[in-house]
Structure 1
Amino acid sequence: MCRNIRPLHNFEPEATTQEVRDAALQYVRKVSGMPKPSQANTEVFERAVAEIAHTTEHLLAELVTSAPPKDREVEREKARARNAKRFPQSAAS
């Protein structure tokens, strides 16, 4: 239904509004059990996404850490390496 929600805190550059909204959408999909709401639930679904995104932006703005920011590209490469190890290409291809 939805992918894992990725950490957004302590990255350089900071998380974009779209990334925060995407995470909120994933959360609402997971909690509601609906990948797409019915017409009757669209308004409440979208309102929940907006409220969670808003709260998440406040959370990210106020969190503090002494750790240096992580580089998005470096973290992306680490994830690719982990995935390559977990899901090696089939030799029979």
Structure 2
Amino acid sequence: MCRNIKTLFNFDPPATTDEIYAASLQYVRKVSGFNKPSKANEDAIHLAVEEVAIATQKLLNTLVTNAEPRNREIEAERARARNAKRFGLENQE
């Protein structure tokens, strides 16, 4: 589940609100153990996701680096190549 959380810092263009929310949702799902919470826990999970998203946005806004921003397309291609090598999909599309 946590493998779906992507690095969000130092990209051009910067991480979107949707990407931050998705990462927050994955984090809360992992730590809570709920993929789909019961009605009794739905409000608590939603609140936690919102709070984690806010904290994540604050973190991303305050981090600094001297490194050049990474290009999303290049990083995505590198990830596809790593996955192809890892899972033996070099000849498949």
- Structure-1-length-normalised TM-score: 0.92
- When residues 45 and 88 of structure 1 are mapped into structure 2, their CA distance, relative to the original with a 3 A threshold, is same
Mind listing any 5+ residue stretches in structure 2 that lack a counterpart?
Answer: none
- 2:63 is aligned with 1:69: no
- Secondary structure of the equivalent of 1:55? helix
Q: What is residue 32 of structure 1 aligned with on the other side?
A: 32
Identity across the alignment (%): 54
Give the CA deviation at 1:89. Answer: 3.4
Mapping for residues 6-17 of structure 1, pairs under 5 Å: 6-17=6-17
- Check the 8 A contact 2:11/2:70 in 1, yes or no: yes
Q: Which moved more, 1:38-47 or 1:2-11?
A: 2-11
1:49-79 alpha-carbon deviations (Å, 9 max, x no partner): 0000001001001100000000000000000
Mapping for residues 1-93 of structure 1, pairs under 5 Å: 2-4=1-3, 5-89=5-89
Mind listing any 5+ residue stretches in structure 1 that lack a counterpart?
Answer: none
How many aligned positions are there?
A: 90
Give 1 or 2: higher helix fraction: 2
C-alpha RMSD of matched pairs (Å)? 1.4
